Structure 1
Amino acid sequence: MEKAGISIGIVGTGRIAERFWDESLYVEGIQVAAIYNRHMESVRWFAAKKKISGEEDILLTDDVEAFYHKVDAVYVASPHEYHVSYTIQALQHNKHVICEKPMAVTKQEAEDIFALANEKHLVCMEAIKTAYCPGFQKLLYLVMDGAIGTVRDIDATFTKIGSAAGREMWSAYGGSFVELGSYVLLPIMKIYGTQGEKPEIHTFSLEGAPQHDSYTKMMFTYHNHVATVKTGLGVKSEGELIISGDRGYLRVPSPWWLTKHIEVHHEDPNQVEIYEKPFDGAGLRYEIAEFVKKIQGEESSAVSAEESIWLAEIIEHFRLEQDEKGKNSANESEYNKADVKIWAHRGCSMAYPENTLLAFKKAAELPGITGIELDVQLSRDGEIVVIHDERVDRTTDGCGRVCDFSLEELRELSITGSGQDEKLQIPMLKEVFELLRPYCIRDGLQINIELKIALFHMRVWNRK
């Protein structure tokens, strides 16, 4: 049956945009009508990956005005630092908006967004998929129905060990708390509310990339209750949700943010009620369906404007703390910089995707840089490419050994978690030389090349 209803456009062409495309196919009353990215190459890459041909009435464009003219609503799936600007721009074009979390990272930004949406009588909604799934809705019902009595403690954890070169760690709005905080804060704001008593907040953070946390533990202390949240992109912990009350506790096992299984425990260890709920696909279909309901004027369980403003305020509080911590660390640092030789390992790999032209360029521009270290391997057809691992799995969207790919096949792969609008590729060594040659001549930049030698390529390397 042909879908009809709301025409929605997607801003962005990354992983979450791909999932939104897939999930939208399961929701009635909405259809994707346009894909936008500032870089047309990325739009074409997205279309090829999703097998969007010229036969569909779907606009593929880098023209933002043509994009807005085509759609009724917009899904903002750009890197975090562009969420606010694209959301405001879409509202100014009189489009309903569903924006990926975090919608904003300051209270003022969030207030401005919702003030504009209210002024124009438009729906503006933050996309936190857990909030809309049947399991989490059941969890809230059990809590509000008194299944565990009065809630005194909430403990929510979301951690994963990812690449330090990923967008989650190095982008302007990187770090574990900005990336994952919306999830762990969700139970707190839904159960304790956002309009009453303001909690005392105590934070411990472990720095990963400069000014960005790889792990954060935050405690919220109220007069009669407490909450603890943990986020991590470099530290792993049990990813469960525990809600404790004076008549029992509620447990959702890892990964609790994909809420499927709920346990209600009591004093008697043999008395455990278990509830199972579906979590279909990537879960975005639930938030898309709620977005449609809101536009149609139906009752919805969407994250409210007040809740999104509260989330932004907490993230702002955290970021201000991190900035202050960074300033203090800089002031305390005492060493003779003149005696230190600075080498950029795989380029500026703590701030940008490793072994990419972007990482090498950023490293070459660093004041006082001595040199750049990089890794090379051979493709199946004997071309020298710059990549560290013997396999492409960790740093690209491909799978397999580097030596099993031709150069052309390697160039089709995309560097994952790049956070860039344009597609980043595995570079050839000669491309790196061309990029860095001016820095070597002008600044004396040195290059250290590490050969990653597979035994069956020894003879080829010797010829090279």
Structure 2
Amino acid sequence: MTDRLRWGILATGGIARLFTNDLTLNGFTVQAVGSRSREAADAFAAKFDIPTAHDSYESLVADPEVDVVYVSTPHPMHAASARLALEAGKHVLVEKPFTVNAREAQELADLAAERGLLILEAMWTRYLPHMVRIREIIADGTLGELRTLIADHTQRLPDDPEHRINALELGGGALLDLGIYPISFAWDLFGAPLTVQTTATFKATGADAQIATIFGYDGDRLATTLSASHTLGPNTASVLGTDARIEIDRVWYTPTTFRVVAPDGSVLEEFRSDVTGRGMHFQAAAVERLVAEGNLTGDVLPIDETVAIMGTLDAIREEIGLRYPGE
């Protein structure tokens, strides 16, 4: 690979801190950070020993020392923030969910292609070692014919109406914050669903509190997901095949353990993750590799697939009657 890319961090919230910590722990070059607040930018730069702090997103993306921008603004600002970076000639990694709808996602994909730049969704789970191994096991045929995916992403988050998770104007709700994980996993294993069935319950703010989906595919395959912001569940996942199954332990979308289990209960393989930090740097390594290769469409999670997943989320919201302000 060529020389390491120089990262710029756009926004300084909790996820940005987790991502930047993983970058610094694993030898990546974090060159600059940008915030709408000088105080926040300076504090973030000091915490992670970042050379340059910018007091606006515009000055961050204009920084000639920055090659790639990581966007971690609230969901409804993802599209505008990513557009800002693309128009400044930077490659972009956008925190999930990529945008709030497929229209915005397609506009970003088109702009990146037009400018000859890479834009990817930061679905970090796809790049984790245990997920890489799971895809290998499935490709090897160990499970036989795939039949079913079962996954939940359930957390007990604040009920405060002002909290981001409950604020529709911030894209709050279980679907975009939590459901994106198991839904993207279903896409990873099975591709585009032929049928989508959804049931949801809502909070007083109008945000979805819990949402259950059933995706149907050809070949007698199903994927079921449950996501909730008001109840903490097992956060495990299972992949069922005709010859064996994979049991992914809590928390399935972070570095964890899994077992491949035969129908008689014998364990065919056990995998344990060995990761420095949280594991969010694997997606950054993919960005750097793709840029070095000149691959501006992606491979583990191609940009066209990200756009299509946003289309599935749109279909889910249409079924349950969920709209965000401004749409």
Same fold (TM over 0.5): yes
The answer for unaligned runs of 5 or more in structure 2 is: none
1:259: Cα distance to partner? 3.7
Letter of the 1:60 counterpart: H
2-structure distance, mates of 1:63, 1:291: 21
Letter of the 1:20 counterpart: F
Q: Which residue of 2 aligns with 1:124?
A: 119
Q: Which residue of 1 aligns with 2:9?
A: 10
2-structure distance, mates of 1:133, 1:191: 15
Bigger radius of gyration among the two: 1
Instruction: Specify whether residues 64 and 274 from structure 1 end up closer, same or farther in structure 2 by C-alpha distance, changes over 3 A only.
Output: same
Indicate which of 146, 152, 167 corresponds to 1:151: 146
The answer to whether residue 215 in structure 2 is matched with residue 217 in structure 1 is: no
SS in 1 for 2:263: coil
2-structure distance, mates of 1:75, 1:242: 31
Per-residue CA distance 1:287-326 (angstroms, 9 max, x = gap): 1111111111177753111220122112212233343699
Aligned partners of 1:38 and 1:62 also within 8 Å: yes
1:171: Cα distance to partner? 4.7
Alignment of 1:13-32 (within 5 A): 13-28=12-27, 30-32=28-30
Q: Which residue of 2 aligns with 1:320?
A: 318
Q: Which residue of 2 aligns with 1:362?
A: none
1:245: Cα distance to partner? 0.8
Aligned partners of 2:94 and 2:121 also within 8 Å: yes
Aligned partners of 2:32 and 2:45 also within 8 Å: no
The answer to whether residue 107 in structure 2 is matched with residue 112 in structure 1 is: yes
Indicate which of 37, 41, 53 corresponds to 1:59: 53
Instruction: Specify whether residues 123 and 301 from structure 1 end up closer, same or farther in structure 2 by C-alpha distance, changes over 3 A only.
Output: same
2-structure distance, mates of 1:203, 1:220: 9
Indicate which of 209, 230, 237 corresponds to 2:233: 237
The answer to whether residue 170 in structure 2 is matched with residue 170 in structure 1 is: no
SS in 1 for 2:63: helix
TM-score normalised by length of structure 1: 0.64
Q: Which residue of 2 aligns with 1:296?
A: 292
The answer for unaligned runs of 5 or more in structure 1 is: 327-464
2-structure distance, mates of 1:87, 1:302: 20
Indicate which of 308, 311, 317 corresponds to 2:309: 311
Letter of the 2:166 counterpart: M
Aligned partners of 1:153 and 1:245 also within 8 Å: yes
Runs of 4+ residues deviating >6 angstroms: none
Per-residue CA distance 1:36-85 (angstroms, 9 max, x = gap): 1122232234345x164xxx632332261354233211100111110011
Instruction: Specify whether residues 63 and 136 from structure 1 end up closer, same or farther in structure 2 by C-alpha distance, changes over 3 A only.
Output: closer
Letter of the 1:254 counterpart: R
2-structure distance, mates of 1:144, 1:157: 24
Instruction: Specify whether residues 171 and 279 from structure 1 end up closer, same or farther in structure 2 by C-alpha distance, changes over 3 A only.
Output: farther
Q: Which residue of 2 aligns with 1:267?
A: 263
2-structure distance, mates of 1:271, 1:138: 16
Letter of the 1:25 counterpart: T
Q: Which residue of 2 aligns with 1:460?
A: none
Q: Which residue of 2 aligns with 1:37?
A: 35
Identity percentage of aligned residues: 23
Equivalences, count: 315
SS in 2 for 1:25: helix
Letter of the 2:239 counterpart: I
Q: Which residue of 1 aligns with 2:224?
A: 228
Aligned partners of 1:135 and 1:277 also within 8 Å: yes
SS in 1 for 2:117: coil
Q: Which residue of 2 aligns with 1:384?
A: none
Letter of the 2:55 counterpart: T
2-structure distance, mates of 1:294, 1:272: 34
Alignment of 1:338-377 (within 5 A): none
Q: Which has the higher contact order (CA 8 A, sep 6+)?
A: 2
SS in 2 for 1:296: helix
Instruction: Specify whether residues 325 and 35 from structure 1 end up closer, same or farther in structure 2 by C-alpha distance, changes over 3 A only.
Output: closer
